[in-house]
Amino acid sequence: MRIAVIDLGTNTFNLLIAETGENGIYSILMNEKLPVKLGAGGIEKRIITPEAADRGINALEQHKKTIDKFGTDQIHAFATSAIRSADNGKEYAERIRKEVGISIEIITGEKEAELIFKGISQSVPLGDEKVLVLDIGGGSNELIIGNQNKIYWKRSFNLGIARLLERFEPSDPITQSEINLVESFLETELSSLFEAVREHQPSTLVGASGSFDTFHSMIKMTTPEAVKNISPSAVSIDMQSFDDLHARLIVSTIEERKQMKGLEPMRIEMIVLAAIFTKFTMQKCSIQQFIQSDYALKEGVIKDLIVSYT
């Protein structure tokens, strides 16, 4: 059976097409993401603007053509922070159903966190040691603490990078006083995370897709020896190399970032705050090891679906 999963995120609409086999095994046939900036201009006002809505429809129409080309048997589409928090989110999901022919399930932040953990658990070799998983989105950031046995704590925070950009409107380049303001805000907003970390004491951070793909790509371009494969879909990243990248990003202008190798155009604006969020989390949680996982929500959905079929 061929299954298409669409993750309607705040920054990108991501498509995964997989062929399912026996014993819960599947192979990925297509993995594609399209920029939409669904939260631009409205995320802090709790609306999806007409311009953003049209960008989303156009992206889904492209994804639908790809799905049809692959002869997919089922389509499962999941909307996350931008749509679930918008006052016109349900109305937009209905528009998608009518215009594109794809039904959208709007999932909670808790469900999103659970699916992300199911995704990374397929790519990262987990043991008894608890790890901290972070998925940085445009609308929300999911943080989960778990190991091979179970999830011990999970939460979705409305601290996505599109929200932080609209809230703080940083200079170009960002100033140290602006960084201090962002970190002071995160210190307050993430208090429940710090309590959970004190209880469970994870020492490894697993970054799931999105911004972490970009960190991986940029570090590999400049310091390839700092990236080591730990599975076909996950790598360990040298902590000092990430610190160096963070230092380079926070003093960079948009024009300078346009020239940086490994940095996708759609992340040029957001990557600085994503690096600040990651570095701050690492420091506050005393992280000693950094892993990047290619797998996240979409792969978690596939795993869930396969289990439900058997």
- What are the sequence ranges of the domains in the chain? 2-107, 116-297
**E strand or H helix that includes residue 184:** helix 176-189
- The pLDDT profile of the chain, 310 residues, written as one tens digit per residue, is 899 999 999 999 999 999 988 777 899 999 999 999 999 999 989 999 999 999 999 999 999 999 999 999 999 999 999 999 999 999 999 999 999 999 999 999 999 999 999 999 999 999 999 999 999 999 999 999 999 999 999 999 999 999 999 999 999 999 999 999 999 999 999 999 999 999 999 999 999 988 999 999 999 999 999 999 999 999 999 999 999 999 999 999 999 999 999 999 999 999 999 999 999 999 999 999 999 999 999 999 999 888 776 5
Q: Which fold has domain 2-107?
A: Nucleotidyltransferase; domain 5 (3.30.420)
Can you give the pLDDT at residue 2?
94
Can you give the pLDDT at residue 239?
97
Can you give the pLDDT at residue 310?
57
- The two beta strands, 234-237 and 151-157, are unpaired
Can you give the pLDDT at residue 309?
65
Can you give the pLDDT at residue 117?
98
Q: How far is it, in rounded angstroms, from Cα 21 to Cα 299?
A: 15
Q: Output the CA–CA distances (angstroms, integers) from residue 197 to 141, 152, 167, 217, 229, in the order listed.
A: 16, 11, 27, 28, 26
Name which of 196, 198, 216 is nearest 206 in CA terms.
Answer: 216
Report the predicted TM-score, pTM, of the whole model to 2 decimal places.
0.95
| CATH superfamily, with its number, for domain 116-297 | Exopolyphosphatase. Domain 2 (3.30.420.150)
Mutual angle of helices 161-168 and 271-284, in 10-degree steps: 100
Q: How far is it, in rounded angstroms, from Cα 4 to Cα 299?
A: 11
Half-sphere CA count of 261, side-chain side, radius 13 A: 6
| Environment class of 308 (CB within 10 Å of its CB; exposed 0-12, middle 13-18, buried 19+) | exposed
Q: How far is it, in rounded angstroms, from Cα 69 to Cα 106?
A: 26
Do 2-107 and 116-297 share a fold?
A: yes
